[in-house]
Amino acid sequence: MAQVISSAGVDAGHTRTWHYLDNQQVLREEGLEPVGIILAVHGNPTWSYLWRSVLAAGINAENPWRVIAVDQLDMGFSERTGTVRRLADRVRDLGDFTQHVGLDNTDLPVVILAHDWGGLISLGWALEHRDVVEAVALTNTAVFHDQIEKIPAALQLALNPAIHGWGTQKSTAFLDVTLHLAQNGGLDSVVYKTYAAPYRTAELRAGIRNFVADIPAGEATASYTDMVRIAEGIRDLHVPAFFQWGTKDPVFQRRYMADLQERMPQADVHRYENASHLVAEDEDIATPLFHWLEEQFLWNHTGRQAHQLAREEQQLHTDFEPMISEVLQRASDSSLAVVDMDSRNETQIASTLSWAELAQDINRVANGLEATGVRAGDRVNLMVPPGAKLTTLIYACLKIGAVIVVADTGLGAKGLTRALKGARPDFLVGIRPALVAARAMGWPGQKIAADPLPAVARKGLGVIASVADFSDISENTSYSVSPEDDAAVLYTSGSTGPAKGVVYTQRQISGMRDAIRHTYGLSAGTGLVAGFAPFALLGPALGATSVTPTMDVTRPKTLTASALSAAAAAIDATTIFASPAALMNVVRTANNLSEDQRNALKSVDLLLSAGAPLAVPLLEAVQSIVPQASIHTPYGMTEALPITDISFEEIKSALADGTERGLTGARDGVCVGRAVHGAEIQIAPLDNEGEPLEETTTEPGITGEIVVSAPHVKDRYDTLWVTERLSTATPGWHHTGDVGHFDEAGRLWVEGRLAHVLNTSQGVLTPVAMEQAAEEVPVVRRAAAVAVGPAGSATPVVIVETDPRAPQDGRANSALTAQVRQRVLQDTGIEVSAVLQVREHPTDIRHNSKIDRPLLARWAQKLLSGQKAKLKK
């Protein structure tokens, strides 16, 4: 407790009693000298108990911090003053308290940590204590509310005069609702009771009522002017900042995070997609906080600087040729650049553009975007299917330095909404269905129509401009992008967790082009059929004539052999990019090809299948369709594509001489070949618990996490600071999250995902080898290997997909169980304890080659323990 004389206007000169938590005594007992002080400020209706994990984590021999968590007056176990305290009063209160405990004249750096309305109060205090505040850390909060927008529904209800007094003070309604804003199954009963302990009676809850009443919802409220002053003042608070945000918060929503980012653009941000308002209860915020503090105050010149130096060293040895340079160089070329196939007739060409026309169209759209208000650095979400229109938009954005945002519609409405609200695009350019969805789902960004729209539709959809109306084809649009400027935010598939935004700079996206160009010898004159959406963007940058076959790019299985042939014939194709799922359907529909259609595919000399490995029988079937082509199966991911490459010729050669046993079998996983141009690969070996060690190796036969360094590795994850730091734990390298090993010939084998490693009684196991073995059983279409039981003593279980017409999901019959167990033991030496059977994995559990193994493991655990379990996301 602390006795403090108040300077707040409502009770100046009165002595007030403050309750606070402080780990200083424990630090002294441990003999630890703190490197700084964290001032932690709660909001309404919590108290300093909110920060207990931070208080404990501050007692760390390597990074000790004094943590002072204060209960605001009228809150927690601090004094009930009997006064109504406004925002300005609470800022003065905090100043009185910090002066009393010695923070105003300390030689140590002071960091404020705040949540809810504690954010606005502590930032107001920081503006008056600039000489001591050296960093800001915030969890879900708000510093400004635009009165044009409605405040969140929960606060509207609490402010309603008919409910306000009863809901906030006379009853525990407001308190109870707030404490239920925890995602992970709600608060533990002991934790819940502890939070509620200071607010047992209506008298003790007066502060809750007054806090709610002081919400500056509009100019008429007493604290509105002070809110604006603080919100504007922090624009000049040039100190490091770190925001940890629960995105499922119904009160302090993403728009408040976006507002804070705009006011403090220097902030590092991490979004927790499954956390709500009480983010400190839903997630471990203490560990990331102290890692961030360590980076800011302790090892600014070691670990993180080493990563930056490694990146800069790589850049010094990387030539930079902008993505658009090839198009500009061919601005007078009348030869074919882009072909669009007819969406209603897969054999017909809908339109074409020469290089000169493409350059002119890029100028027109670039000038139109600038006239609409798009500026360098603005994010532009493109919701247009692959083809000439999307190509033009992409290169127009790159020309003016705008950042393209691309999220696959295959994420579904919910996944897209999460992704776009995370990326916060300034503009959204879309076809009509996308604009309709944007309106319905509240997707951010000013809306620009990709196609002509009637005036009524434009107004109804909130469209400010149409690409069809852009007419200025002059070349006066500036082109002065820097290699280190952001160029794109590309979203991952979302098949192994919430989709992540991957940020590429201009240099890195050009590096992707160069890796493909040099690895496969692609250049001007290449005829490229892009049946895999990411590569459709690279055609013009490579100087290749490009065509996208008639298909739904969000559903690769819609690509038919005849559509592929028609697209190849349209440009005399030499190269095909396609996903495994697309090629499976091409093989299925190849019997319908005429002789002329087969001949159109005989000119193809290179076929790339990226996204998942292909089994040898499928590769052989594909080879029969493109008999002159060298088939390659590159390995990579959204964060770095491609990383390695292997040809079918190499696979066949190794099989023929028998020197690489298991190359296409189950024993070693999937062979993905050697590093592509500019890339280096190493392995971080796994320890006995399946965690990667710090040191890396290229020694054959050692399983570990695959780490890669290349000019085309992503710059960072977008507003996912924790994820980014984990991925760059080794300076200058990207940790892929995949596990694998090198063979004696220096080829990389992928054995699964690090998160899916099985820590069993048989040791640390990887899933892919078991799955491939199980899939050798004739009736098994696909398989997934999981572990059931406690880590270290768990047992392997294989879940097989057999016949969609099977009566039910559950245990496999004895014959199938015996077959699978025998095959897995034979090929891998692993003993499987149980085999479960499903009719078909739902697409949200198994997306092409990617499997939600943790979900399957939970289902298997329930089923094997005798509980009823339904397989669903």
Domain segments of the chain: what residues?
2-146+219-297, 331-481, 757-864
β-bridge mates for residue 763, sequence order: 760
End-to-end Cα spacing for the chain = 49
- pLDDT at position 844: 46
Local mean pLDDT, 10-residue blocks, the chain (873 residues): 90 95 96 96 97 97 95 97 96 97 94 97 98 97 80 67 78 90 83 96 95 88 94 97 95 92 96 94 97 83 55 66 91 94 91 96 95 96 92 94 89 87 94 95 95 95 96 74 94 78 95 94 90 77 93 83 96 92 92 93 92 79 96 92 92 56 52 93 95 94 95 95 93 93 91 91 90 89 90 92 72 91 92 88 52 84 83 67
What is the SS3 assignment for 825?
helix
CA atoms within 13 A on the CB side of 78: 32
Tokens for 647, please give them. 């040809």
Q: How far apart are CA 562 and CA 570, in angstroms?
A: 12
Tokens for 380, please give them. 């532009």
Q: What are phi and psi of 616, to 5 degrees?
A: -55, -45
Q: What are phi and psi of 195, to 5 degrees?
A: -60, -40
What is the SS3 assignment for 136?
strand
Residues whose CB falls within 8 Å of the CB of residue 302, separated by 6 or more in sequence, listed in order: none
Q: How far apart are CA 698 and CA 708, in angstroms?
A: 12
Q: How far apart are CA 389 and CA 802, in angstroms?
A: 42
Residue holding tokens 């949540």? 115
- pLDDT at position 683: 97
Q: How far apart are CA 113 and CA 48, in angstroms?
A: 11
Tokens for 9, please give them. 């206007």
Tokens for 765, please give them. 């196991």
What CATH number does the domain located at 331-481 have?
A: 3.40.50.12780
* Contact predicate 535/548, CB 8 Å: no
CA 561 to chain centre: 34
β-bridge mates for residue 758, sequence order: 765
Long-range contacts (CB closer than 8 Å, 24 or more residues apart) made by 465-469: 465/368, 465/372, 467/365, 467/368, 467/389, 467/393, 467/429, 469/368
> Of 578, 562, 582, whose CA–CA distance to 570 is shortest?
562
Tokens for 754, please give them. 């690090």
Q: How far apart are CA 98 and CA 109, in angstroms?
A: 14
What length does the chain have?
873
Q: How many CB atoms lie within 10 A of CB 452?
A: 12
Residue holding tokens 């099977």? 806
What CATH number does the domain located at 757-864 have?
A: 3.30.300.30
Q: What residue type is assigned to position 306 of the chain? A: A
What is the SS3 assignment for 157?
helix
The answer to whether the Cα torsion of 532, 534, 539, 540 is positive or negative is positive
β-bridge mates for residue 489, sequence order: 405, 503
Q: How far apart are CA 714 and CA 695, in angstroms?
A: 22
> Of 375, 151, 329, 347, whose CA–CA distance to 250 is shortest?
151
* Contact predicate 437/412, CB 8 Å: no
* Contact predicate 333/356, CB 8 Å: yes
In the DSSP assignment, the letter for residue 666 is S
The reply to whether 331-481 shares the fold of 2-146+219-297 is yes
In the DSSP assignment, the letter for residue 720 is B
Burial class from Cβ neighbours inside 10 Å (0-12, 13-18, 19+) for residue 435 reads: buried
Tokens for 294, please give them. 């360590």
CA atoms within 13 A on the CB side of 676: 29
Residues whose CB falls within 8 Å of the CB of residue 47, separated by 6 or more in sequence, listed in order: 19, 71, 75, 76, 77, 195, 198
β-bridge mates for residue 340, sequence order: 351, 548
Q: How far apart are CA 166 and CA 158, in angstroms?
A: 9
Output the DSSP codes for 555-616: SGGG--HHHHHHHHHHHT-SEEEE-HHHHHHHHHTGGG--HHHHHHTTT--EEEE-SS---H
> Of 231, 244, 212, 302, whose CA–CA distance to 53 is shortest?
244
Q: How far apart are CA 811 and CA 784, in angstroms?
A: 14
The answer to whether the Cα torsion of 93, 94, 97, 98 is positive or negative is negative
Tokens for 147, please give them. 């009165």
Q: How far apart are CA 391 and CA 850, in angstroms?
A: 28
Q: How far apart are CA 448 and CA 427, in angstroms?
A: 7
Per the CATH hierarchy, to which homologous superfamily does domain 2-146+219-297 belong?
Answer: Alpha/Beta hydrolase fold, catalytic domain (3.40.50.1820)
- pLDDT at position 468: 95
The 3-state DSSP composition of the chain as helix, strand, coil percent (nearest 5) reads: 40, 20, 40
CA 28 to chain centre: 41
* Contact predicate 445/433, CB 8 Å: no
β-bridge mates for residue 38, sequence order: 67, 111
- pLDDT at position 714: 96
Q: How far apart are CA 592 and CA 585, in angstroms?
A: 12
Q: How far apart are CA 249 and CA 251, in angstroms?
A: 5
Residue holding tokens 């598939």? 493
Q: How far apart are CA 127 and CA 133, in angstroms?
A: 9
- pLDDT at position 665: 37
